[in-house]
Amino acid sequence: MKKTKENDSTKEFEKATQESHTEKYVLRLYVTGMTPKSINAIENIRKICEENLQGRYDLEIIDIYQHPEYAKKEQLLAAPTLIKKLPLPLRRFIGDMSDKEKIIVGLDLVPKKDKKK
């Protein structure tokens, strides 16, 4: 088979598509004890991750009451706060993570053309 620019472009596109579906997400959720808002945030983000990122995410939950140094290090202004470390760009979400659509769009889990304006 003769190698053409079109074949190369198709292979590059297929490779990029496969990489986007296997990219590992590194997420950190900062909470303040086991308050109702913290519990809701934990449940909501776990559900979103299981539905959309099965097997390709690491979710670390950090209680800033037990580890206050993280609040300063991450410059947290409120809790619960979810920080998407990877893939870049870094993103922050504040609240109980109940706005599923906002979280999914913010994590870049829907193609950009499908995002609502």
User: What are the helix (H) ranges across 1-117?
Assistant: 5-22, 36-52, 68-73, 100-106
In the chain, the percentage of residues whose pLDDT exceeds 90 is: 73
pLDDT at residue number 91: 97
Coil, helix or strand at residue 63: strand
Coil, helix or strand at residue 25: strand
DSSP type of residue 112 = G
What is the end-to-end Cα distance of the chain in Å, rounded?
Answer: 44
The 10s digit of each residue's pLDDT in 76-100 is 999 999 999 999 999 999 999 999 9
Return the number of other C-beta atoms located less than 10 Å from residue 104's C-beta. 15
Q: What CATH number labels 25-111?
A: 3.40.30.10
- pTM equals 0.76
Six-digit token string for 41: 């945030």
Residue 17 has pLDDT above 50, yes or no: no
Q: Is the dihedral of CA 73, 75, 78, 83 positive or negative?
A: negative
pLDDT at residue number 16: 46
Domain boundaries defined on the chain: 25-111
Residue 116 has pLDDT above 60, yes or no: no
pLDDT at residue number 9: 52
